[in-house]
Structure 1
Amino acid sequence: MKNKERILWISSMVIILAVSLIIIFQYQIKLSNAEEKKTSLFNDNSQLQQENEDCATQASGLRSELEKLELGNYDQTSMLKLQAKGYTGQLKDIVADLKMHSELIPYEGILGGTMGFYHNEDIHVLTDRWVFAYFDDGHISGYMLLSYDINNGTISWKVIDSHLDV
């Protein structure tokens, strides 16, 4: 009987050892796969960060070029045409005048807001005749195309078209 017990005990130990080795081997495989995935994700993250930096640099350069184009061409050309008509002010004076004429906006504010031209950088003097402007009330917003005329230093405005952002 003792032999049978020993054989049973030894075979149980062999089975436990085999199962333990299988579990350890599977754990090592999963750990190895996790390390590979971690390395792959780290490499992907590094690549995406570099691409993001490249895009930010490119966007900054494009923004600078756009500012040069907008200020260099449109503003200078508009000022020359306005000066030829006898205007002695600056483009910022036209923007300031428009900001005082919120009655030109054909939409009512909502939720207690008041429609207006609140941001100088969102009012663009396109030519010596036209202005493109953003307006809002803090809740809703839209855009307008206006024409203007300057007589004896007084600016008169006319709405060409407008729409609300939806």
Structure 2
Amino acid sequence: MTEERTRAEGLKTSERIAWVGFMLFFVVVLAIYVARGIGLERDVADANRELLDAQMKLAQYTQYEVPRPAEVGLTNAQIQAMQRRGIARPELQLARSLLEQPELIPHAPVLGGQMHFVPDGIHVLNDRWVLATFEDGHIRGQMLLEYEVAHGNVMWQVIESYLE
């Protein structure tokens, strides 16, 4: 009986050691996870600080940045509207119409030249305005014109012009 009692006490002691071992293992694992969590929180806080610094520097560099340029030219909807008004190829036909009307240029030629629009200098800005370059071979200028299309005809009005 003493042997059985000794054996039972030995088993209880072994069980207790096993349980204490498991408990120590879980405590160590828990401590590791807590330490990693604290480290990760610090890393996230540092990353947030670095991100904020980078955003502040970017804001300083871009505070004087020129905004995105405005869209220039006719939209698909504007082209379709002009086609309904009788102009099949609006940009081409507007340029041709303007090239045929040098009398719209409000400046006199010099040294025997003749004022005319520069074909590559005609830019349709939108469904209302055109920016056109003109010259006579000696002097050059630009002008802003307003136009209206009705029944395939283009009517022009000079808004502003200047010589370079």
TM-score when scaled to structure 1? 0.51
Q: For residue 111 of structure 1, what is the aligned residue in structure 2?
A: 111
- 2:74, 2:127 within 8 Å by CA — same for their partners in 1? no
Which stretches of structure 1, 4 residues or longer, exceed 4 Å deviation after superposition?
A: none
Are 1:95 and 2:95 an aligned pair?
yes
Measure, in 2, the Cα distance between the counterparts of 1:106 and 1:112. Answer: 16
Measure, in 1, the Cα distance between the counterparts of 2:145 and 2:98. Answer: 10
- 2:124, 2:131 within 8 Å by CA — same for their partners in 1? yes
Are 1:121 and 2:120 an aligned pair?
yes
Aligned residues: 94
Are 1:152 and 2:157 an aligned pair?
no
Q: CA deviation at 1:120?
A: 2.0
What's the secondary structure of 2:73's corresponding residue? Answer: helix
1:1-166 alignment to 2 at 5 Å? 74-77=73-76, 78-83=78-83, 86-90=85-89, 91-117=91-117, 119-165=118-164
Taking only aligned residues, the RMSD between alpha carbons, in angstroms, comes to 2.2
Could you list the per-position Cα deviations for residues 2-54 of structure 1 after superposition, in whole angstroms to 9, with x for gaps in the alignment?
xxxxxxxxxxxxxxxxxxxxxxxxxxxxxxxxxxxxxxxxxxxxxxxxxxxxx
Structure 2: tracts of 5 or more residues without a match: 1-68
Q: For residue 15 of structure 1, what is the aligned residue in structure 2?
A: none
Q: CA deviation at 1:121?
A: 1.7
- Percent identity over the alignment is 39
Measure, in 2, the Cα distance between the counterparts of 1:149 and 1:132. Answer: 14
Measure, in 1, the Cα distance between the counterparts of 2:152 and 2:113. Answer: 32
Q: CA deviation at 1:102?
A: 0.6
Q: CA deviation at 1:98?
A: 0.3
Bigger-Rg structure (1/2)? 2
More helix by share: 1
Q: 2:149 is matched by which residue type in structure 1?
A: I
